[in-house]
Structure 1
């Protein structure tokens, strides 16, 4: 290798390798002059000049030098004096004062600086260019890079140019440390792909350095200006990558500031707690549990990976869109880093397989939820929570970020961490991406395998910035949606099943139901715990075999008789009423509360507890789920209760057609008035029950069912099908007055008053016979009791009838205009019987 020669004029270099005696004398004299000024290295230089090797004394003198590293490899041995080792980091803070370059000629200074720069650009400390005095390899963050400084005695004409070049050393060391750190498995595939892309760029940089070193060693015309000319574009490129890795490295929530600020406020907070009586170990224990819960749902433990990495790159590319170089660099990194992300998305939307080992994708799977939960779950956990978006958003626009499992945003900027951060390019497509894979998984659960779409071959790469990628998502979503709709509507006969479900649960369309009530009248009069469900099921099968035709007969094996654990109105009040009472903390119950509890524990009749259940298999259980079956059951029990009370009042009317009620009693004018009042009250109650039953049946259920059928004929997505079905049931419940606590209370009290009055039918007949048999009507001992019972029934029914009418009118005028027909019906009853009274 030629000695480091000062710069010569272009074209003056000789073709032969040898030097003239004059040139050789000049060069050796210049080198000898430089060595005289390099005090710390004089011993080594003298040893090299004399041709001798390191002696024992010489080694003993320098064996503590931190730059010497024992190295058996011959390849790395020449770099031992400069390579930074983790075992022997450079102790720059205690570094000896650098030698002065004032007495060295300018061309020699340039040669020395050029030699140092070739090392510094690879992160190795030089002689004239060293690490910053404040830099420590043990204390400083390697992701910040090694800062280099130039010898202050270097000529200013060279120093200015060197200052522009040495940031490359900091950029290179920081980027190399980032690549090494983020290549660990825990950082996920996106970070691995990003590191591979950056490593490829660094390979180009290293190629440039090798070319520059070759030029330095072989070209006598190679100068500092030429070096700056070649590395100038690279400075900007590496600075862009350096800024990116800094943002990625510092994107986690800072914990130092929070800990310091909390420590400063500890004394003040403790004083406040003590003044408020909140101090003590118990409070600290509670607060520690709360803090644990906060940490579990926070973003501090989630590394920057997956969608968050792509988001940061995309945002930097958008913010620096005016810089062509930045757009090109960040665009390339976004494409390379997004490749595994796109591949995971392709697998998900095309085949329904979620291959996300490092939780980087915007879709997550709850594996503990399987389709078996559909048999017992009343909230559709399988469909709603089996596959969800990590950011907690839903297709309806609501957000569930407050729920467990949804990470909190990063404190700087409010960006969600890790895979929960949806790349901006996919923000408007995330719901279609979720639904496409969700539909395909339902199909796979049915035993139908979905092969990967071959529209775009496996070898063809797609990128998030290409229109073809979004066309692929749209096609995959349409295919999955169309396939599942076909499976539900055609193969699984969804529409006929919904029609049979309506006829089974809504009494006006159930031709078998009257026969069932007649067959099971004896069993239904028992208590709910004493009634035999097996016997009732046998009677139901008999009624279905006798009267069911068409679709009812086709699906009759799916309907079952069950018994409810609580009363209808109690259950509805629990659902619509929110209470914060804690039973364990309440005091001893008063006599009124004890009486109420005893009444609540009173066993129900089987007629009040009986309801139907409907069994369907997957995938129909997605549409006819436990959540929807529960709504059908509530409507059925309400209609059944109305029907039962109507039958009781009709039976009372039949009984009052007998002799005690129809015979003439001229000697008993008081009894005739009482008898008329009883019949009039029974007629008012019957009219009230029949109007409620007719309103719910013909003005709520029928119109809403026809609206649902019209929607099902035009449905285009499975999610829309599910929403339409649930909306139909929710609308029916609301318009049937079963979602408002005030309406439920007033309506239930009125209906129960009618039911109790019908139960007293035999008592009224007994009182009538006693009145007729009495010799002296004026001295009839049962007269007072007879009138007292009737007056209490009238007052009770009138009170709750007026209360119910008032609540119906209020709701009809505010948020439930569908109740207006019921207002007209109830007002007609009130005006008709008020006139007769």
Structure 2
């Protein structure tokens, strides 16, 4: 603010002394004012003898003050301290009648003196508080309203009423500065109040000069007072409108509303992720209470947003742009300093929760029941408005918006100038925190920027944010790819979980054949781990000490169907794909059957691999990505196991029992050929699925991932590419469609069950040969055909159903399944 300061004109320098005429005029005016003041005091005493006179009130102090100090009393502005409560609120009509009978020049002198009181927020003699205003009841942030005594001359009243708003503006702004200087309102409000206080000092300097002119200059009139304060009226009105909006927004806060619309879903998600500990629940409960119990004051980014919006709405007013620009720069200084500290060192120095970045200190690697370090990465530092780098928005912990306009309160309100950079601000600090937790000292990319003065409306600030983000990103990317050997780690994962370029699985299945036939709950993980180590001993297996054996509690396809039905990735009607075409009426029986199968889960169906990595590699190879690797491994393991079982059956059927010709028993010859053909079709189906998954899904996607990793430029892109690779593999392996999963699981169960009856078929073939050699009739041949036709009809049904599903999804959603259609069609032609 640049208030107009009255200055002594050069032409008046020669008049250092008053002429006799001027001296007589001044003394006469002052004497007249004193006589009228004495007369008004006498009238007051006559009206109410209990009311002390103005002179007595001004000269008498009921409590210690500075009134006795003459030098202090005569000082400009400060001399008015003792008169704050000097005049009663209701003065009666006597004083007004006296003012009505006074000459205009005397009225002007009296009103000028009162105006100098009012401009400091002090009630005068003839300018008093508005009748509707109450010091006890009214909000001081609205300002004190003043009114003029009615008998005042019309011309004087018009000028006086133009000046009166200054008193209201000044008292409101002063009350705002005093109330917002407390610690609870944060550093941004403190800086804003300091800037406003500096402007008020200029205003007070102007009032001191005006009072000096009133006391010394006979030419000082009400018109000149208006001329001097006119620019200040507009400036103070701008500040008044700002503080009024800030205080009104806080009064209309709607943060008491509940924002727990997804509490059940969030609780289930936390429980599934291992975040359901009692200690963490207690902390989250305490956070919920604290966030919904009390209103959030207008502070931090919200203050800057209000200033910026006012500056934009009044962009056509040069004074408004200058005033609000000054306040924006001053109030944004601590915000910029916190921002600088965060993006250059990774330390969040935000004691009053004003910055757009929020730290959840209760989420740490020590408090989590399971080391879900990717959740630590996502939840430890977040944006207060709940937005993420993806399109989704997290609502947990985000305060509800204020009712008038929907602006988020406090630090959750991100300044519009920073809106497009908020994700880079968040990521820059997160990257640096990862580096710091690895024990590496964080060094700023540009040390000289610490001496630069940056502000919210300066383009240098956003270039500084961009440079800090680039530096932090490159540093962490170099740490992951070079120092932590991320690419070799991912290759080892592909080797172990995708069964590529390795024969350890076949060796493991041979070594642990007896253990894997046991129920899952009875299998020894320690023994299986030792057998896995033995299987990996003879191979060039990097990072083999990090590969561990684990036993799942649920079958693969049951678990996948449950996930798909809950998440609704690709849904279908209830009962869709049932082998007998039944619908919802049989769902209960199917659930009971699934429950029984779950109880009888074998170790081979629950076997999985786990992979241990340390921080910071656990950000990329996280528990969520390990879970995806495990799903693909179990899928391939089942295919390999069924292929091995059917291969063992083929070896058994090379015996003389299956190769000996029996021309006298043509029915047995036909039955034997049908058994061999069904086994060949099943083996072809499993091998075609395995070849498709290995050579047309996993390998091409892996090469695509390697190409992306060679060109990766950001850590978030690295994380996203890795997860996208796994999700694409799951989708193209037909593990995300409920209909395909049902059909495929039935096919695999049929093939594995058929392989289990290998010895029974061999025994039946031996019995048929013995009966043919003895010449007796083979009465059991009918049962053999009935038993075989059950397998054939079941396999043919699910093979056709599976082929139809694959054709449908290949033509509508997943084009990558087209090669599988050709492969499966060849199996159908074998029938």
Q: What TM-score does the superposition give when structure 1 sets the normalisation length?
A: 0.85
The residue that corresponds to 1:698 in the other structure is 695
Tell me the distance in 1 between the aligned counterparts of 2:532 and 2:366: 27
The residue that corresponds to 1:483 in the other structure is 475
With 486-495 and 247-256 compared, the bigger mean Cα shift is at: 247-256
Preserved CA contact (<8 Å) 1:67 1:90: no
Distance apart, 1:346 and its partner CA: 0.3
Residue 498 of structure 1 pairs with residue 495 of structure 2: no
SS at match of 2:160: helix
Where does structure 2 lack aligned partners over 5 or more consecutive residues?
1-10, 258-285, 569-585
The residue that corresponds to 1:666 in the other structure is 663
Tell me the distance in 2 between the aligned counterparts of 1:671 and 1:616: 58
Residues 27-83 of structure 1: per-residue CA shift (max 9 Å, x gap) = 5762465246515666599xxxxxxxxxxx989999999998622122489689976
Q: Does the C-alpha gap of structure 1 residues 196 and 648 become closer, same or farther in structure 2, counting only changes over 3 Å?
A: same
Preserved CA contact (<8 Å) 1:526 1:605: yes
Tell me the distance in 2 between the aligned counterparts of 1:490 and 1:561: 28
Tell me the distance in 1 between the aligned counterparts of 2:319 and 2:200: 16
Tell me the distance in 1 between the aligned counterparts of 2:507 and 2:734: 28
Tell me the distance in 2 between the aligned counterparts of 1:202 and 1:476: 38
Match 2:32 to one of 30, 33, 51: 30
Residues 394-423 of structure 1: per-residue CA shift (max 9 Å, x gap) = 1223222xx220122222222211111111
Distance apart, 1:773 and its partner CA: 2.2
Distance apart, 1:456 and its partner CA: 3.2
Distance apart, 1:695 and its partner CA: 0.4
Match 2:17 to one of 8, 15, 18: 15
Tell me the distance in 1 between the aligned counterparts of 2:728 and 2:295: 44
Tell me the distance in 1 between the aligned counterparts of 2:171 and 2:351: 30
Residue 395 of structure 1 pairs with residue 373 of structure 2: no
Match 1:546 to one of 533, 538, 541: 538
Preserved CA contact (<8 Å) 1:83 1:124: no
With 243-252 and 529-538 compared, the bigger mean Cα shift is at: 529-538
Residue 71 of structure 1 pairs with residue 63 of structure 2: yes
With 569-578 and 732-741 compared, the bigger mean Cα shift is at: 569-578
Match 1:353 to one of 335, 347, 361: 347
The residue that corresponds to 1:6 in the other structure is none
Distance apart, 1:324 and its partner CA: 0.6
Q: Does the C-alpha gap of structure 1 residues 22 and 167 become closer, same or farther in structure 2, counting only changes over 3 Å?
A: closer
Distance apart, 1:603 and its partner CA: 2.9
Distance apart, 1:368 and its partner CA: 1.7
The residue that corresponds to 1:567 in the other structure is 555
The residue that corresponds to 1:202 in the other structure is 200
The residue that corresponds to 2:750 in the other structure is 753
Residues 173-221 of structure 1: per-residue CA shift (max 9 Å, x gap) = 0000111111111111101110111011001111111111111112222
Distance apart, 1:300 and its partner CA: 7.4
Residues 632-683 of structure 1: per-residue CA shift (max 9 Å, x gap) = 1100000000000000111111111112211112232222111111111111
Residues 118-149 of structure 1: per-residue CA shift (max 9 Å, x gap) = 11000000011111110001111111100111
Residue 330 of structure 1 pairs with residue 327 of structure 2: no
Residues 521-576 of structure 1: per-residue CA shift (max 9 Å, x gap) = 222222222222112211211222212x2xx23x1111111111111111111211
Match 2:403 to one of 403, 411, 425: 411
The residue that corresponds to 2:172 in the other structure is 174
Preserved CA contact (<8 Å) 2:254 2:295: no
Where does structure 1 lack aligned partners over 5 or more consecutive residues?
1-8, 46-56, 260-291, 581-588
Tell me the distance in 2 between the aligned counterparts of 1:649 and 1:544: 25
Residue 421 of structure 1 pairs with residue 410 of structure 2: no
> Which residues in structure 2 correspond to 1:676-695 (within 5 Å)?
676-695=673-692
The residue that corresponds to 2:447 in the other structure is 455
Distance apart, 1:579 and its partner CA: 8.5
Tell me the distance in 2 between the aligned counterparts of 1:19 and 1:386: 81
Tell me the distance in 1 between the aligned counterparts of 2:52 and 2:32: 30
The residue that corresponds to 2:157 in the other structure is 159
> Which residues in structure 2 correspond to 1:247-266 (within 5 Å)?
247-252=245-250, 254=252
Tell me the distance in 1 between the aligned counterparts of 2:210 and 2:137: 33
The residue that corresponds to 2:361 in the other structure is 367
SS at match of 2:96: coil
Preserved CA contact (<8 Å) 1:482 1:717: yes
> Which residues in structure 2 correspond to 1:120-139 (within 5 Å)?
120-139=118-137
> Which residues in structure 2 correspond to 1:424-443 (within 5 Å)?
424-443=416-435
The residue that corresponds to 1:615 in the other structure is 612
Tell me the distance in 1 between the aligned counterparts of 2:457 and 2:322: 13
> Which residues in structure 2 correspond to 1:465-614 (within 5 Å)?
465-547=457-539, 549=540, 552-553=541-542, 555-578=543-566, 592=589, 595-596=592-593, 598-614=595-611
Preserved CA contact (<8 Å) 2:373 2:618: no
Tell me the distance in 2 between the aligned counterparts of 1:314 and 1:807: 57
What is the RMSD computed on CA atoms of the aligned residues?
Answer: 3.3
- The count of residues paired between Structure 1 and Structure 2 equals 765
> Which residues in structure 2 correspond to 1:757-772 (within 5 Å)?
757-772=754-769
Tell me the distance in 2 between the aligned counterparts of 1:193 and 1:625: 43
Preserved CA contact (<8 Å) 1:310 1:423: yes
